[in-house]
Structure 1
Amino acid sequence: MAVAPPTSTVKAHSSQADDATSPSTHAALNPPTRTREFLGAPGAAAVFVLCHLVLLSFYIACAPSTTCGQGEGVTWLLTTSVKLLAGTYTLYNPTSLTLYALWLLWLVALFHIVPGRWVNGTRLRNGTTLSYKINALPSLIITLATCVAVLATVGRAPFLYLHDHMLYLVAAAFLLSAIASAALYLASFRPGVLLALGGNTGNPVYDYFIGRELNPRVGQFDIKCFTELRPGLIGWLVVNFCSAVAQYDRTGGTITDSMVLVQLFQAWYVFDSLANEPAVLTTMDIVTDGLGWMLTFGNLVWVPFSFSLQARYLALHPLQLGVMRCLGILALQAIGYWIFRSANLEKDRFRKNPSDPAVQHLAYISTKTGSRLLVSGWWGRARHINYLGDWIMSVAWCLPCGFGSVIPYLYPIYFIVLLIHRERRDEHKCHLKYGADWRRYRRIVPWRIVPYIY
């Protein structure tokens, strides 16, 4: 059995609705949103449509019966996808919807069954502090062990079925994420709900997209934190596992060095993320963003299916790299990981204990809010230096696929757009929070992501 959450935290959570039920208190805690991202509702609708079309196009263009764009460009991808979208596939079927729903139920069951410790999140603006169960890593290990056990006992057939029908699972995830987002939007009108400051515009299209409620929960089950880590990251490795089995089957018993690299890189990233699960509790997604379609689709659909396109491509088009190319790609991955993890650990240690010997030498500026902003070490090089390391790793994941197709490179192309957008969002929020202190900080650390370039 899991250790029970801290009593004080439970009381704080249970009093949240009681403290915010009066109209005056609710209005004060949930002011109307005055600024909108993505150009408001029209931009949100455009992102909604574009994300569906892009992911469908890439999966249709990289089906077992196609060339996955080898020797072709973006124009081929678009024209082929339009033709196929016009009627070749009947995307929705009960089997795929059932399989994806069972996958989510499996993860929910693991959350409740697998033991885990409880940690407190950040203090909310209504004075409460929520507790979160930390057991994503053992849930991942159990899931992968189950996959290995099924492979050893039943054989390759279940995984080959999933690989060959992945497009239908993508469509099922589309539908379920849309339904879940609608349910979350409607539930956010309950009395006493704490809303996200960015999702209370009154426009249903935009609020559905961006997320209206800050911390949707069922008892102690935090839906946003669950969605943030488990369906996407754990699902990503399960899809990769299916691709490895498919390559082994297609090649008559061989796993290429390129497939090994992709599997190792991405598995390491996921294991590292879940091993540091408490760190997600201080991220923008958890602290400030509501849970709407953007986060729901991102974690139920985009992460597991688009981030795994490299393994899918290599399952259909195996590639041997040789020792020297493998070493070069490994070196690039190591550089990216070093920047990403070192920067994040440095900031996390400084936040927890500025007197820690590992960070006490770092220079900082004090702000009127009481916060301290690092101006030396990794964070003196660029204001979001961790994004640089993250993007370098994304490139390393794609290089094992060679340069025969654009399909494996969807992730770094999308990722650079995402990181720049997140950096701009964070800049805006920090400017509002710190005011003149943030302008002073920007003068000391002028570079956004890449030192001396951007």
Structure 2
Amino acid sequence: MAPSNDEKPVLNPKTTEFEFLGPIGALLMVTVLPILVYILFLGCQPDGCPSPTLLSLLTNPTNVVPLLTVSNILSIFDLKAFVAYLSYLAYLVLAFHLVPGRWIDGTQLRNGTRLKYKENGFSCMLLTLAILEVLSLSYGSDPLLFISDHFIGLVTASIIVSLAASFYVYYESFRKGKLLSLGGNSGIFIYDFMIGRELNPRIGSFDIKYFVELRPGITSWTIINIAMTVKQYKELGYVTAAMYMVLVFQGWYAIDSIYNEPAVLTTMDITSDGFGFMLSFGNFTWVGFLYALQARYLSLHPVHLSWLQILFIAGLNATGYYIFRSSNNEKNIFRNNPDDSRVKHLKYIKTKAGPRLIVSGWWGKARHINYLGDWLMAWAWCLPCGFDNLFPYFYIIYFTVLLVHRELRDEEKCSKKYGKDWITYCRMVKWRIIPGIY
């Protein structure tokens, strides 16, 4: 006998468990995070990081009120920067559609379907870098100096776009037939708006979340780092080794991420998280601009490193990258074809839910061993800024909290998904991120 309608599983169940402190946490993220970005950039100026103005505000918060005039608030909006940023996004969308690329299948969704995604990010990145080179040869440093000269305006533009995208996908999620994320269907506006209500918002075959995940933020970050390098050269007449290290380390990471674009299809962001303010702001603004904090700091406050420091930091970055890329490649190869000669030797346990959990190789050392590689690289990006200032180390502080929180989220979801098999797995692979320590 076929099950009645009441017995059929609900495709879009109501969200009853909250993350990020629930609606209050969501409200804080939507309001505080953009303010924090402004503080970090407006508060780091040629006369100091933090600047004397920021110090006076921190020591006497009452000084903030006189600054909250309409004129000062409107000054963070820059029409030229806004038009430039929209033109940049339009170019990225156009390149996505026009640059050739293969279509690949994503993971199977809970409704049994698989979406197709266009893989051409690496070609688009190479095209973008080539265009920058042509502009530099034709117009000199002016196009890149525009970025440093209009930096706050560009940040504002990215925040406006992230909010607009968040509102658009939120209201579109109420159309009939939408597959919602399991964590963003609470019925509470601010929470669903922040966490993301729809799982895979699309305009035709154009997947908004997939596009935003790697294109605008990663590319902005790379371009801004190049722009800050040009600014330092303009100011000093040369580029310091510290700036070169940040440019190369972060640039390699960004290009490597784009080159391995299909790997993002198996991440939590794509498979289970909805697309809302968290991912929209996180990619347009947080990755696109805040990740360039070290390069901007070095453009304002050059640091000179010894050869010993250079070798140590380079070794740290290489070690982190090796762990990060090797472990991720091992996992992705195993997921696609466990009989591949490169991974067929790996031991695993088969779960009742279906997937196999690796208990040897990189993933036998720690359950989130790739996070260790990511964390070591984060240190290598901050250390070139020296030890005179805490400002450029905001990234490693934030990133440590992010990785631990993400690991806890993943552990909770895996525990629910795999049940007793997850307990068995944790007994076999007892370390979370750092073998022997955590």
TM-score, scaled to structure 1: 0.90
Distance 1:164 1:135, change over 3 A: same
**Which residue of structure 1 lines up, in the alignment, with residue 275 of structure 2?**
291
How far did 1:284 drift? 0.6
**Which residue of structure 2 lines up, in the alignment, with residue 313 of structure 1?**
297
What amino acid sits opposite 1:93 in the alignment? D
Answering whether residue 191 of structure 2 is matched by residue 179 of structure 1, we say no
**Which residue of structure 1 lines up, in the alignment, with residue 345 of structure 2?**
361
How far did 1:349 drift? 1.7
Answering whether residue 134 of structure 2 is matched by residue 120 of structure 1, we say no
SS in structure 1 of the partner of residue 107 of structure 2: strand
Native 8 Å contact 2:163 2:281 kept in 1: yes
Native 8 Å contact 1:61 1:77 kept in 2: no
**Which residue of structure 2 lines up, in the alignment, with residue 3 of structure 1?**
none
**Which residue of structure 2 lines up, in the alignment, with residue 12 of structure 1?**
none
Which stretch shows the higher mean deviation, 329-338 or 141-150? 141-150
| 1:130-169, Cα deviation, whole Å (9 max, x unpaired) | 1100111111111111112111111112222220221111
How far did 1:325 drift? 1.3
Distance 2:256 2:166 in 1: 28
SS in structure 1 of the partner of residue 288 of structure 2: helix
SS in structure 1 of the partner of residue 345 of structure 2: coil
Where do residues 70-219 of structure 1 align in structure 2 (5 Å cutoff)?
A: 78-79=58-59, 83=64, 86=68, 90-219=75-204
What amino acid sits opposite 1:32 in the alignment? K
How far did 1:75 drift? 6.5
Distance 1:303 1:85, change over 3 A: farther
Distance 1:85 1:259, change over 3 A: farther
Answering whether residue 238 of structure 2 is matched by residue 257 of structure 1, we say no
Distance 1:85 1:138 in 2: 45
Distance 1:339 1:224 in 2: 27
Distance 1:95 1:24 in 2: 56
Distance 1:443 1:414, change over 3 A: same
| 1:332-388, Cα deviation, whole Å (9 max, x unpaired) | 001101111111111112212222222222221111122211111111111101001
Answering whether residue 334 of structure 2 is matched by residue 350 of structure 1, we say yes
Native 8 Å contact 1:306 1:410 kept in 2: no
Native 8 Å contact 1:246 1:315 kept in 2: yes
How far did 1:80 drift? 9.3
Which stretch shows the higher mean deviation, 109-118 or 87-96? 87-96
**Which residue of structure 1 lines up, in the alignment, with residue 34 of structure 2?**
52
Distance 2:57 2:267 in 1: 35
Answering whether residue 48 of structure 2 is matched by residue 67 of structure 1, we say yes
Distance 1:425 1:435 in 2: 15
**Which residue of structure 1 lines up, in the alignment, with residue 324 of structure 2?**
340
Distance 1:132 1:226 in 2: 9
Distance 1:177 1:392 in 2: 29
Distance 1:76 1:352, change over 3 A: farther
SS in structure 2 of the partner of residue 119 of structure 1: strand
How far did 1:405 drift? 1.4
Distance 1:171 1:366, change over 3 A: same
Structure 1 residues without counterparts, runs of 5 or longer: 1-22
Q: Of 401, 407, 410, which aligns to 1:417?
A: 401
Distance 1:357 1:242 in 2: 43
What amino acid sits opposite 2:95 in the alignment? L
**Which residue of structure 2 lines up, in the alignment, with residue 7 of structure 1?**
none
**Which residue of structure 2 lines up, in the alignment, with residue 31 of structure 1?**
13
| 1:76-114, Cα deviation, whole Å (9 max, x unpaired) | 784599759645561123222222211111110110111
Count of equivalent residues = 428
What amino acid sits opposite 2:50 in the alignment? G
How far did 1:313 drift? 0.8
How far did 1:24 drift? 8.6
SS in structure 1 of the partner of residue 215 of structure 2: helix
How far did 1:27 drift? 8.3
Q: What fraction of aligned residue pairs are identical, expressed as a percent?
A: 50
**Which residue of structure 2 lines up, in the alignment, with residue 453 of structure 1?**
437
Distance 1:77 1:108, change over 3 A: farther
Where do residues 331-410 of structure 1 align in structure 2 (5 Å cutoff)?
A: 331-410=315-394
Which stretch shows the higher mean deviation, 444-453 or 233-242? 444-453
SS in structure 1 of the partner of residue 115 of structure 2: strand
Where do residues 274-285 of structure 1 align in structure 2 (5 Å cutoff)?
A: 274-285=258-269
Native 8 Å contact 1:381 1:451 kept in 2: yes
What amino acid sits opposite 2:325 in the alignment? R
